Amino acid sequence: MNFSIRGQQIEVTEALRDYVDKKLSRLDKYFDAPPTSDGTVTLSVVRGLHAVEVTIPLTGVVLRAEDRSDDMYASIDAVVDKLERQIRKHKTKINRKLRQKGVKNVLFAENANGGSVAVDESDEELEVVRTKRFTLKPMDVEEAILQMNMIGHNFFVFSNIDTREVNVVYKRNDGKYGLIEQG
């Protein structure tokens, strides 16, 4: 797998580049054939912390991990460990899904009820600090939950393959999952 390694507020030395390549090559053992997609690695220093962010787009899933610590090499090690855990977890879920193929699992006993959130605008001005654009891939609820867990977020927006509507899955405080549908 090829990686594009870049630095933000840091010069990417040959030693850092070699270390990143060596550590990320550990991930090759998890794939039957080397992935054809190119991953990105961003090394940066923010407020004295050395941050590493790795994104690996694969067919049907995006692996992403980041870590911050006082040492760049320690951050690289931690990110690779996180990616290995994600890959193992993803493979386990895929294998389980294949074994259960043909059996339709019901993830939610009932529809999630939408709620409203009150925001007190008098205390602070609402400001959008980051905007992301992405294409909504049609998928079922179970695959959306898998994608959400793989990228380490607590919610995931997707196009429901059954209803053809935009839905959101989210992780609840009790560790279970919720689904937001259009009403």
Q: Per-residue pLDDT tens for 34-59?
A: 677 788 999 999 888 999 999 988 77
User: Is the pLDDT at 108 greater than 60, yes or no?
Assistant: no
Q: Does 14 share its domain with 102?
A: yes
Looking at per-residue pLDDT, the higher value among 16 and 116 belongs to 16
Q: Does 14 share its domain with 103?
A: yes
Q: Is the distance from CB of 55 to CB of 63 less than 8 angstroms?
A: yes
Looking at per-residue pLDDT, the higher value among 101 and 63 belongs to 63
Q: Does 69 share its domain with 30?
A: yes
Q: Band of the pLDDT at 13, cuts 50, 70, 90?
A: very high
CA angle centred on 33, ends 159 and 43, rounded to 5°: 70
Q: What percentage of the chain reaches a pLDDT higher than 70?
A: 85
Q: Does 64 share its domain with 12?
A: yes
Q: How far is CA 48 from CA 60, 79, 174, in A?
A: 36, 18, 35
Number of domains in the chain: 2
Q: Does 45 share its domain with 87?
A: yes
Mean predicted confidence (pLDDT) in 95-117: 46
Q: Band of the pLDDT at 16, cuts 50, 70, 90?
A: very high
User: Is the pLDDT at 107 greater than 50, yes or no?
Assistant: no
Mean predicted confidence (pLDDT) in 55-82: 90
**pLDDT tens for residues 144-183?**
999 898 888 889 999 999 998 999 999 988 889 999 998 7
User: Cα–Cα distance between 38 and 109 in angstroms, integer?
Assistant: 40
Q: Does 10 share its domain with 90?
A: yes
Owning domain of residue 85: 3-107
Q: Does 23 share its domain with 67?
A: yes
Nearby residues of 99 by Cβ (< 8 Å), 6 or more positions away: none
Mean predicted confidence (pLDDT) in 88-110: 60
Mean predicted confidence (pLDDT) in 96-103: 66
